[in-house]
Amino acid sequence: MTETVRTWRHIPQRYNLIGSKCLQCNKVFFPLRIVCPECRRKGKLENIKLSGKGKVYSYSVINTPTDEFKEIAPYAVAIVELDEGAKVTTQIVDCGPEDIQIGDEVEMVFRKIREQGDDGVISYGFKFKLKK
């Protein structure tokens, strides 16, 4: 599958932060699931639009990234626990890695993810920033 096809297929998750809620155990997951990883009930899930607000559950500072991201290093990648309970892995932006603490409140923002190919097609998606 080409990167362009993958980008288009993931638009709902990238631009709307759509997760799944199990109707049996009420757990919320991201990304979308077809089987609940908690209670293993197939066909008992519904799509749910997530708020994009949460707290830093854990994070790591990337000092030696791949060539694609070397211009923005050092940067922080975090696991954010959303208000709904789902956890997402994301980059924390608009601050230095030294400004981040576990438990900090964060909110989703849209930012450039990368440029692709010789034509420079830009992919956008969600990242999170510290809530003021």
pLDDT digits (tens, 9 = 90+) for 73-98: 999 999 999 999 999 999 999 999 99
CA distance 119 to 5: 16
pLDDT of residue 3: 56
pLDDT of residue 55: 98
Give mean pLDDT, residues 16-30: 91
DSSP state of 98: G
- Hey, how many other C-beta atoms are within 10 angstroms of the C-beta on 27? 17
CATH architecture of 52-130: Beta Barrel (2.40)
pTM of the full structure: 0.83
